[in-house]
Structure 1
Amino acid sequence: MINVYEFLRYQPELYKQFVCKDLLFVYYDCPQVVRKVDVFTHYNILSFVIDGKKLINRPEKTWLLQPGSCYFFRIGAYNQELYLDEGWCSMNMYIPDKYLQQLIRQYNKHTKNKPLAEQPLEQVTELAVSELTRSLSQTILAHFSDDQPPAEAQLAQYFNDLFLSILDDPANQLVAAYLNTLAKCPDTSLYTVMETSFMYNLSLTEFAKFSNRSVTTFKREFKRIFNMPPAQWLLQKRLDYAEVLLTNTEKSVADIAAESGFVSNAHFSRTFSQKFGASPLHYRKRGAPLLIA
C-alpha cells in the first residue's frame, strides 16, 4: 500500500512542500492515474480542496470530497477513487498525533468552553470553515508561490492559528472532542487499528507504523491482546470478511479478494478452500443466502 505521507515527503521536486518541526505542508496538484488505489497515513491530514473531486471509500462509508471544502482525515487506511475524469488539487497538512495532543491541551487552557467528552471520529470529517479559517488557509497557500519558504516559527504560528480557528467553530465540536480523546489516551488503540484496517493489504511494518509502535512492540502487544500472532489473526479475519461478502453481495471473487486484503486471487482461493471446504465460487453457488446487489 502507498503511505501518502512518505510518497509526498520524499518527492519534494514533484510536490511543493514546507517542513516545520513534525508538520508537513504540501501543495498537491497532480491527477490520479489509477482509478482506485488503497492508501494509508500514519499522520492526520488537514486538507483544503482547491479544485477537482475525489471519492474516499471505506467499508462503512464513501465520502465525496468537493472543491472549496476542508476535511480532517484521521490516521488510518482507505481507498481513494477518481471522480469521473476530474483532476485534483489540494493543500494538505500532515500532523502527528503528538502535535494535536499538545494543541488541544493548549486550546483547553485558554478557551472558556468546557472541554467536550471524548468521542470517536469517522475516517473523514468535513469541517465548517469560518472567514478567519479561510483567510488563514489562503495566507499559507500564498507562500507556495514564494521563492523562499517562510521561517519555521512563522509556519508553526500559521498552523496553530489556523487549527485553533477550526476548534473555535461550534460546528467542529466533534473534532475537538476527538482531540480530547487523543490527549487523554496518548497510546493509539491497537485493537481499534486492527479491527478497522485488517481488510487492507498492509505489512506488519505498516500496521506498526500507523499504530505508532515499533515492530517489536507491535508484535508483543498484539499477541497479548489477541492471543495469537498477527499473521494468523489477519488471515482468519480476512477469510471471515470475504465469506460475508460472498454470501451477501454480488461482487466478483476477484473484487472480494482485493477488498478483503489478499494479495492475489490464487492465495485467496487456496486459503478460503482450506477453511470452508469449497472454492469461493463453489461456496457461493452451493446455497448462499439471498444476494444483495
Structure 2
Amino acid sequence: MTNVYDFLKYQPETYRQLVGKDLLMAYYDCPQSRQRDEIFTHHCYLTFSVSGSKWIHRQGKTWLFSAGNLEFCKKGGFIQEVFLDKGYRAVTFYVPDVYLKQLIQNFRHFYRGQPTTNQATEPIIELAMNETSTGFIQTLLNFFEQELSPTETILEERFREFFYSLLINPDNHTFVAYLNSLTDRPHTSLYEVMESNYMYNLSLEEYARIANRSLATFKREFKKLFVTTPAQWLMQKRLDYALALLNTTQKSISDIVFESGFENSSHFSRVFKDKFGASPLHYRKQKPLQTEAGRP
C-alpha cells in the first residue's frame, strides 16, 4: 500500500511542503490516477480541503471531504475515492504521536474543557474552526506561495496557536477526548491498530510502523496478545469480514476482495472455499441477503 506521508515527503520538488520541527505541512493536488485506491499513513494528520471533494472509506463507514472543511484523521489504512474529472486540493499536517502528546500536555492547563480519557472515537473527526484557525489556514496558504519559506520557529509557533484554537473550541470535545487518551497511554495500542486495520492489505512491516514498533517487537507482542501468528489472525479476520459483506451487502465479489484486504480474487476464492466449503459466488447464491442485524 502507498504511505501517503512518505509519498509526499520524498518528492518536495513536486509537492509543496513546509517542515517545522516534527511537523510536515504539505499543499498539493491529489495525484491519484484510479478512482479508488488503498492508502495508509503511520502518522495522524489534520487535513483542510481547499477545493474539490473526495470520499474516504474506513472501517465500513464513509466520510466526504469537501472544500472548506477540516478533518482530523487517525493513523492507519483507508480507501480513498476521488472524482477524477474534478480534482482535489488540500493542505495537510502530519503530526507524530509523540508531538501530539506534547501538545495536549502543554495545553491541558490552559483550555477550559475537562480532560476526558478512554472514550471510543471514530477514525475521522470533523473539526469546527473559528477566526483564529481559519486565519492560520490562509496564512499558511500564503506561505506556500512565497519564494522564501518561513523559519521552523515561526511555523511551529503558528501551528501551536492553530492547535490551541481547535482545543478551546467547545464543538471539538471529541477531538480533545481522543488526544487526552493518547497522553495516558505509554505505547500505541497494538490491539487497536490491528482491529482498526486488518481489512487493509498492509505488510507486517507497515503494521509495525503504524504501531510504532520494530518488526521483531511487533511479532513478539502480537504472539503474546493474540496467541497466534499475524498471518493466521489476519486471514481469519479478513475471511470473517468478507463473509459479513457477502451476507449483508450487494457489493460485487471484486469489491469485497478489495475491501477485505486480499491480494486478488483467485486467492480470496481459494481460501474462502477452503474455510466455508463453497466459492464466494456459490455461497451468495445459496444464502439470502441479510440486514446488518442478521435478518433476511
Normalised to the residue count of structure 2, the TM-score between the two structures is: 0.94
Query: Which AA in structure 2 matches 1:289?
Result: P
Instruction: Report the Cα distance in structure 2 between the residues aligned to 1:24 and 1:129, rounded to whole angstroms.
Output: 21
Q: How much does 1:114 deviate?
A: 2.7
SS at match of 2:33: coil
Q: Which is further off, 270-279 or 88-97?
A: 270-279
Output the aligned Cα RMSD: 1.6
**Over residues 160-187 of structure 1, what are the superposed CA-to-partner deviations in whole Å (9 max), with x where a residue is unaligned?**
1110111011111111111000000131
Deviation (angstroms), 1:129 = 0.7
The aligned runs of 1:269-288 (5 Å cut-off) are 269-285=269-285, 287-288=286-287
Which residue of structure 2 aligns with residue 17 of structure 1?
Answer: 17
One-letter code aligned to 2:144: F
Question: SS at the partner of 1:49?
Answer: strand
Cα deviation, 1:129-153, whole Å, max 9, x if unaligned, reads 1011111221122111111211111
Q: In the alignment, which residue of structure 2 is the partner of 1:196? A: 196
CA distance in 1, matches of 2:275, 2:260: 15
Distance apart, 1:194 and its partner CA: 0.8
Pick which of 15-24 and 221-230 moved more: 15-24
Distance in 1 of aligned mates of 2:6 and 2:23: 13
1:85 deviation in Å?
2.8
Which one-letter code corresponds to 2:155 in the other structure?
Answer: L
Would the aligned equivalents of 2:71 and 2:126 in 1 still touch at CA under 8 Å? yes
Q: Counterpart in 2 of 1:108?
A: 108
Gaps of 5+ in 2: none
Aligned residues of 1:32 and 1:87 also touching (Cα < 8 A): no
Counting matched residue pairs gives: 292
1:142-291 equivalences in 2 (<5 Å): 142-285=142-285, 287-291=286-290
Q: Distance in 1 between matches of 2:271 and 2:226?
A: 21
Separation in 1, partners of 2:113, 2:89: 35
Deviation of the 1:39 alpha carbon: 0.7
Counterpart CA distance in 1 for 2:71 and 2:79 is 16
**Structure 2 counterpart SS, 1:14:** coil
Q: Is the 8 A contact 2:45 2:72 kept in 1?
A: yes
- Aligned partner letter, 1:222: F
CA 133–241 in structure 1, closer or farther in 2 if over 3 Å, else same: same
Q: Equivalent residue for 2:4?
A: 4
Rounded Cα–Cα distance in structure 2 between residues aligned with 1:12 and 1:64: 27
Structure 1 alignment gaps of length 5 or more = none
Within 5 Å, which residues of 2 pair with 1:23-38?
A: 23-38=23-38
How far apart are the structure 2 equivalents of 1:186 and 1:103? 16
Q: Secondary structure at the match of 1:53?
A: strand
After the TM superposition, which of the residue ranges 16-25 and 246-255 deviates more from structure 2? 246-255
Deviates more, 1:120-129 or 1:47-56: 120-129
Point out 4+ residue stretches in structure 1 off by more than 6 angstroms.
none
